[in-house]
Structure 1
């Protein structure tokens, strides 16, 4: 049985996992329930300390990480893998889990050698319910309502908020505070390796810990580019603020024409607004001043960004039919050299692999905007999803935590290799540098992508040339971009805070924002109307959410 899964999709899943959307949708971290029911907030509650961070003492990276957020980078695959789990975690009993996957369904357990190998290593009978994204919210909502829950539940995957998620966690999920808070996490060293920013992004509920985050790096959205094209137009300047907006526009015009455009866009992403808003000094979704919250939609900096984007669109520097194409088409445009710059999650290794030697994949550094603002990179959430556990006796919860701990084994460990590549000789062979190379069985569909177990637990990510060991220059470029960007990074101050209003209104408010940005950029609505957009956004829940966030922010200290 084959699923038609390509080497590209397998290696992309192994390396990058599933990236958060580049639209800004549901990325504030303010999850919760409706307007009635138990209080989900942290105001007035004793806040449990976050788990003590105990970094894995594994293979030394070639390019060092920083405490501020630059990732560790490896130019080659580690030769001496270590054991990250001392004992098999399971007791032979069945463990059930619900996870989300963008891939085709895997082969059944009875024929799936990867699933069988994981079950043997875990010491449990792991039974998976794998749900595609378009059914994820409905499936979990049904489970929540029925009470027929699996042991392990992947929550908030990919930014999909669930109705009454926080109240569901309070009523039906295990309080993990006594198991993970502070030094208690030492019992689970791989979970302890998850950085604090991931826990903060996930947030507490009533001051307690109800999940384990699936880490994602802080450096997030960037202007991924065809560096060769930018060099040809004289607009490749590898320093923050080294290129003036006027010069960028002049070069972009040189790159546009005859079926090519300087800037990529699609029916999601609002013409790359995330990068351009940050470039113009706008706050990362929310801003807090003297304890009061305001949204970036209310800022003059965002208006300046929209003015610049609208001017580029008027000049034809975006694809004219951008809003009628999907993200996959836009990605193909970049791979084929039709666009030079595309605002996206930065995973240069994947782009370099797809394009091979067609062009040099890099990330354009921020330009100096016309409004004279100081650039700030918008850090991401720091997590893709979080894992909640069904309420159970203490011994059962500890078993499930051992399973999650195993699945969180770090890069450079034998467990990580099994989770990400499978069994040597079955799912991969060693390449010339010792790096795992997927076999036909893996490429045909028996891989970690289809099995989706990395939403149960996952190691903090590193920069590494998955699947093409030896291509060190792309790793160096990715790491260099992070070194330039991270010192300018700002976090969303609403991450981890609880707002009941935002949890119920986010979808409506995000659509309102997206529609308005698209209308202004394409010239269908004048920028002078933006005050009305903000007024409508506030009246439909934005103002109330800001009030709730302010109270939570104060409680968090």
Structure 2
């Protein structure tokens, strides 16, 4: 069974006295949990409570005179997390099961993904933090808040992980580095597979036009042009769509094809982040070409994720960078209006590499507010440890058999309720165990479908690269980049849409690189990079 520990038992001394008078002291002193629900067991002051299980085998409570029934009380956790699907009902079948298994009541503020960064920045600036903040990445405002003491340093509480076997054994290697600041662990990871983002292309449209699947950036551009001109959707077909700086989820993937995912050092030995490298400028110029020919959505700079996704699901666009595991859902949505849609994910050769960006196995993390008392921090850690179990990970991906999925040819396949309740959002309240194919396999796809999908992208794990600045948290860089990041993003947009010549964009970047404060930041980043990769 899973290792489940939990909320501290309350000191009900009056009740104890009554219990002793009634002659039931022996039952209390044994500390055993009577039967009951799987979930987080109690921790008595005189000793640790073990895991309560469906079999009723309780832990060994302390001799502190606490009522063992307190172990059944659910742990209330207030959480801030991203919303990537429809707003879930926390009393639906999936969330009811999740909370019952973890013996928790989750009070989650679900924030739509398109507004997540803005809302998180406001929360961090206000200091009015939830008990647990879930962030999909280590953005500068979060790192600054950590350095300013807003969140617990978990290092001494986690110790050697002997009390946290799931965290020790079920996660990606070196996960601690990606949720640490200044060598201290401040978060527990949101586990995700290394293979995640795919540059999607409508293969059925390529087939209709007699075009091969693109293998290079040039072939990709030619394919986009052919599709846009042919307008197979009949509604004014878009080429490449996205959101964010350029196409957001795909920015780093495309950057890899230009060599911008290789570490870059200036003449003085300073580490220059990808945004300020010549290779990133080459990518901006390439996107400028796509835009000028009408192959990049004209609204790319203001498009929200929900809008881009809806365009793709409605069969209006040829290419869209998102997680590979969305393919089946997108195909199902498109098939309502277009026959036999097929999506493939591309690895495009460019002048500096391949357009595959790998994740670290850690997609941000869960951070506990310093306002939470230490006793409850330990309870929350126990909850997060439990969510890193194989059992709860299985629940997060597939729900309950007979309720959310059926087993067909050895493959768990989601039914209608499963497709409604099991999604990205359903994975947003726990660590989860690392799953190599977790962002590739579709929970609604057949075994044949998923086997073919895995085979088609297996090489991504070999040719892809991780963004090299990941895990580096230089104070000087964070401070200096905060002064320029908005202006830099605006300059990227202006260069792509043709408002300024590329020479002006490159001169602007060079001016940033020559700033003394920026060069000092590059030097500090270089020191961090060397230390981070020392082992």
Q: Which residue of 2 aligns with 1:201?
A: 178
CA distances 1:503-527 after superposition (whole Å, capped 9, x unpaired): 3455554433332222222221111
Q: Does the CA contact (< 8 Å) of 1:105 and 1:130 recur in 2?
A: no
Indicate the SS of the match to 2:428: helix
Normalised by the length of structure 2, the TM-score is 0.70
CA, structure 1 residues 165+477, in 2 after alignment: closer, same or farther (shift >3 Å)? same
Give the CA RMSD over aligned residues. Answer: 4.0
1:352 matched to 2:331? The reply is yes
For 2:503 and 2:280, locate their aligned partners in 1 and report how far apart those are by CA, in whole Å: 13
Q: 1:351 to 1:502 in 2, by over 3 A?
A: farther
CA contact (8 A) 1:85 1:406 kept: no
Aligned equivalents of 1:256, 1:227: Cα separation in 2: 14
Distance in 1 (alpha carbons) for counterparts of 2:280 and 2:423: 40
Following the alignment from structure 2 to structure 1, what is the Cα–Cα distance between the partners of residues 191 and 386? 15
Q: Does 1:490 align with 2:462?
A: no
* 1:340 equivalent in structure 2: 318
> Is the partner of 1:162 in helix, strand or coil?
helix
Query: Size of the alignment, in residue pairs?
Result: 447
Q: Does the CA contact (< 8 Å) of 1:296 and 1:302 recur in 2?
A: yes
Q: 1:490 deviation in Å?
A: 2.5
Matched residue SS, 2:345: strand
CA contact (8 A) 1:501 1:544 kept: yes
Distance change (3 Å), C-alpha of 1:191 and 1:136? farther
Quote the offset at 1:191 in angstroms. Answer: 5.0
1:459 alignment partner in structure 2: 433
Q: Structure 1: where are the runs of 5+ without partners?
A: 1-82
Question: CA-to-partner distance for each residue in 1:421-470, whole Å, 9 max, x for gaps?
Answer: 55566x53636557364565x777x77766x6733322224346544242
Q: Is contact 1:154-1:388 (8 Å) kept?
A: yes
Query: How do residues 174-253 of structure 1 correspond to structure 2 at under 5 angstroms?
Result: 174-177=153-156, 179-181=158-160, 184-185=161-162, 187-189=164-166, 192-202=169-179, 204-233=180-209, 235-237=211-213, 242-243=215-216, 245=218, 247-253=219-225
CA distance change for structure 1 residues 91 and 379 in 2, over 3 Å: closer, same or farther?
same
**Bigger radius of gyration, 1 or 2?**
2
Distance (whole Å) between structure 2 residues aligned to residue 233 and residue 104 of structure 1: 36
Q: CA deviation at 1:128?
A: 1.9
Secondary structure of the structure 2 residue equivalent to 1:384: strand
CA spacing shift, 1:84–1:404, aligned 2, 3 Å = farther
Compared CA separation, residues 178 and 339, structure 1 to 2 (3 A): same
- Secondary structure at the counterpart of residue 435 of structure 1: strand
8 Å contact 1:198–1:382 — kept in the other structure?
yes
Q: Could you tell me how far apart the structure 2 residues matched to 1:106 and 1:216 are?
A: 21
**Where do residues 40-439 of structure 1 align in structure 2 (5 Å cutoff)?**
91-93=71-73, 94-102=75-83, 106-107=88-89, 114-123=94-103, 125-132=104-111, 133=116, 134-142=118-126, 145=127, 150=131, 153-157=132-136, 161-162=141-142, 164-168=144-148, 170=149, 172-177=151-156, 179-181=158-160, 184-185=161-162, 187-189=164-166, 192-202=169-179, 204-233=180-209, 235-237=211-213, 242-243=215-216, 245=218, 247-257=219-229, 258=231, 260-261=236-237, 263-271=239-247, 273-283=251-261, 287-288=264-265, 292-323=270-301, 325-347=303-325, 348-356=327-335, 358-367=340-349, 369=350, 372-375=351-354, 377-389=356-368, 397-410=377-390, 413=391, 415-420=392-397, 428=404, 430=406, 432=408, 435=412, 437=414
Deviation at 1:167, TM superposition (A): 2.3
Distance 1:212 1:326, change over 3 A: closer
Q: Tell me, yes or no, if structure 1 residue 517 matches structure 2 residue 486.
A: no
Q: CA deviation at 1:221?
A: 3.5
User: Could you tell me which residue of structure 2 aligns to residue 60 of structure 1?
Assistant: none
Q: Which runs of 5+ in 2 are unaligned?
A: 1-52, 60-69
The farther-off stretch of 357-366 and 271-280 is 271-280
- TM-score of the superposed pair, with normalisation by structure 1: 0.67
Structure 2: distance between partners of 1:116 and 1:273: 37
Cα displacement string for residues 235-262 of structure 1 (whole angstroms, at most 9, x for unaligned residues): 5347xxx4462x4444433222255456
Higher relative contact order (CA 8 A, sep 6+): 1
Q: Which residue of 1 aligns with 2:456?
A: 480
Give 1:224 deviation, angstroms.
Answer: 0.8
Question: Partners in 2 of 1:490 and 1:387 — Cα distance?
Answer: 25
Q: Secondary structure at the match of 1:256?
A: helix
| Superposed displacement of residue 492, structure 1 | 2.6
Question: In 2, distance between residues paired with 1:171 and 1:306?
Answer: 36
